[in-house]
Amino acid sequence: MRQIILDTETTGLEWKKGNRVVEIGCVELLERRPSGRNFHRYLKPDCEFEAGAQEVTGLTLEFLADKPVFAAIVDELMAYLEGAEVLIHNASFDLGFMDAELRRLGRPRFIEHRLTVTDTLLMAREMYPGKSNSLDALCKRLGVDNSHRQLHGALLDAQILADVYIALTSGQEEIGFAEVEAPSTGPAVATVSFAPVAGERPRIAAAPEELEAHARRLAHLTRPSRRAGRRNTPRRCAGHGPGGAPPPRARPVRRSAGTGWCRARWPG
């Protein structure tokens, strides 16, 4: 599975006002681990920064003056992204700017290329409804270290979002992208590999004498028992009435002289 965390920095908040992309940062994950094959470019915007945008990114027009324009890196970028799941936090913002840049070059929209897009902000809102789900808020909630994030930078934010994404989807034990698992101190466990057997599965047929012995055994098990017919028949003992119930036993009675009552004598 190949995933790419993407982030952009721009000259302002709205692409509709003519703002441009000035930085693109991407972090590649292979099987949820960083491959080290990242993509990072600064871009010359050919427009001014909006008020406050420079303070957020720390970038200046002087720094970007000798950087390539978007048209010079678009083929390299789209080839890098091809076939991947692209993870973006608040994807509508970044996609709006990417589509505007592609439209200037007469190219299809970002999502019309051979890739898929997942918005991690929507994922976070489903998991934490009613709470702040900015990148900084998620770092604090999930224990992701972002103390080195003094300014907004596309590559730095993509690296932080990679940690946040792992925490969102599979727990904090994977944060940090441990590349080498600590050796176990317990006893060694043998690993058995069950390779598929080529060809038709073997068939084992019973010998004639085995079939005959099996038939005799079944006949014996299905034969009615001679005792089964009288198992539930009540027994009759001497002196017992029908159904085996004993007859009532008379108790001798002695009348006391001069009294109006009788004293019962129990048997024995």
Q: What is the pLDDT of residue 172?
A: 44
pLDDT recorded at residue 194: 36
Domain ranges of the chain: 2-174
- Which amino acid is present at 264? A
| CATH superfamily ID and name for 2-174 | Ribonuclease H-like superfamily/Ribonuclease H (3.30.420.10)
- List active site positions: 152
| Residues contacting residue 64 through CB under 8 Å, at least 6 positions apart | 22, 42, 43, 44, 45
Per-residue pLDDT of the chain (268 residues; tens, 9 = 90+): 899 999 999 999 999 999 999 999 999 999 999 999 999 999 999 999 998 888 888 899 999 999 999 999 999 999 999 999 999 999 999 999 999 999 999 999 999 999 999 999 999 999 999 999 999 999 999 998 888 766 678 999 999 999 999 999 875 444 444 333 344 444 443 333 334 444 454 556 667 777 777 777 777 766 665 555 555 555 555 555 555 555 555 555 555 454 444 444 444 4
pLDDT recorded at residue 204 = 60
Which DSSP string do the residues of 91-106 spell out, in sequence order? HHHHHHHHHHHHHHTT
CA within 13 Å, CB half, 31: 2
